[in-house]
Amino acid sequence: MALLPILTAPDPRLKKKSKPVEAVDDDVRRLMDDMLETMYAAPGIGLAAPQVGELRRVIVLDIDREEVKTGPLFMANPEIIEASNEDVSYEEGCLSVPDHYSDVVRPAKVTVRYLDRDGKQQDMTCEGLLATCVQHEIDHLDGILFIDHISALKRNMILRKLLKARKEKERDEAEGKPAKDKAKDAEHAL
Ligand code: GNR
Ligand code: NI
């Protein structure tokens, strides 16, 4: 297993549409396993392949909450086949949009059809945080970030701040300063 670097916005690869996998073979399984390890290390509750620079329709999730303990979920070619008329708003974050959080409105309940880690087709009906997260991950496969669901004013403010933070990080690294701690990210992961 290996930890993969996570791309952050703005990055042109995060705006691209990912391609379906032809089959869940050993190569796809290796990507899934590396993504899960990368997601746990981040830490995060979901990760989509384009976030690690792989433009393939593969996502992993693990929502470990009191109400729902899914364990690790691996999905290739996930598709929403049914969505509720009822919507919910959830404060979302993204490993590719570090340190920014916004309320996003999405269907409260969705059914997702996908190929599991063994290549078997499955349908799963999701509610609560899992429903939000699976929609957030499938958006990544279509080049959509949660900030694309908020006002252009707020989105552009976040993108400007991300660019500024990246420049400061590059400058600090060039000067040999230590990286900032990740306690704040951990707090927002769930
Ligand atoms: O770790 C994550 N938390 C999260 C919280 C609310 C809504 C969506 C998410 S997904 C995010 C990890 C990530 O960026 N996945 O693409
Ligand atoms: Ni994300």
What's the confidence (pLDDT) of residue 178? Answer: 82
Q: Is 47 in the pocket of ligand 1 (CB under 6 A)?
A: yes
Domain count, the chain: 1
State yes or no: pLDDT of 188 exceeds 80: no
pLDDT band at 181, cuts 50/70/90? low
State yes or no: pLDDT of 99 exceeds 70: yes
**Angstrom distance (rounded) from CA 18 to CA 140:** 8
How many A from CA of 129 to the centre of ligand 2? Answer: 13
What's the confidence (pLDDT) of residue 8? Answer: 96
pLDDT digits (tens, 9 = 90+) for 103-160: 999 999 999 999 999 999 999 999 999 999 999 999 999 999 999 999 999 999 999 9
Instruction: Look up the domain containing 76 and give its range.
Output: 12-174
Catalytic site residue 175? Answer: no
Q: Is 46 in the pocket of ligand 1 (CB under 6 A)?
A: yes
CATH number for the domain that contains residue 45: 3.90.45.10
* 44 within domain boundaries: yes
What average pLDDT does the chain have? Answer: 94
If you average pLDDT over residues 89-104, what whole number do you get? 97
How many A from CA of 47 to the centre of ligand 1? Answer: 7
Q: Is the dihedral of CA 125, 128, 132, 137 positive or negative?
A: negative
Q: Is 136 in the pocket of ligand 1 (CB under 6 A)?
A: yes
What's the confidence (pLDDT) of residue 66? Answer: 55
* 7 within domain boundaries: no
- Percent residues over pLDDT 90 in the chain: 88
Furthest-apart CA pair in the chain: how many Å?
A: 53
Q: Which residue has the tokens 């900032």?
A: 180
State yes or no: pLDDT of 185 exceeds 70: no
What's the confidence (pLDDT) of residue 64? Answer: 82
Q: Where are the alpha helices (DSSP H) in the chain?
A: 26-41, 128-141, 152-174, 183-188
pLDDT digits (tens, 9 = 90+) for 26-59: 999 999 999 999 999 999 999 999 999 999 999 9
* 133 within domain boundaries: yes
How many A from CA of 99 to the centre of ligand 2? Answer: 12
* 189 within domain boundaries: no
* 180 within domain boundaries: no
What's the confidence (pLDDT) of residue 82? Answer: 98
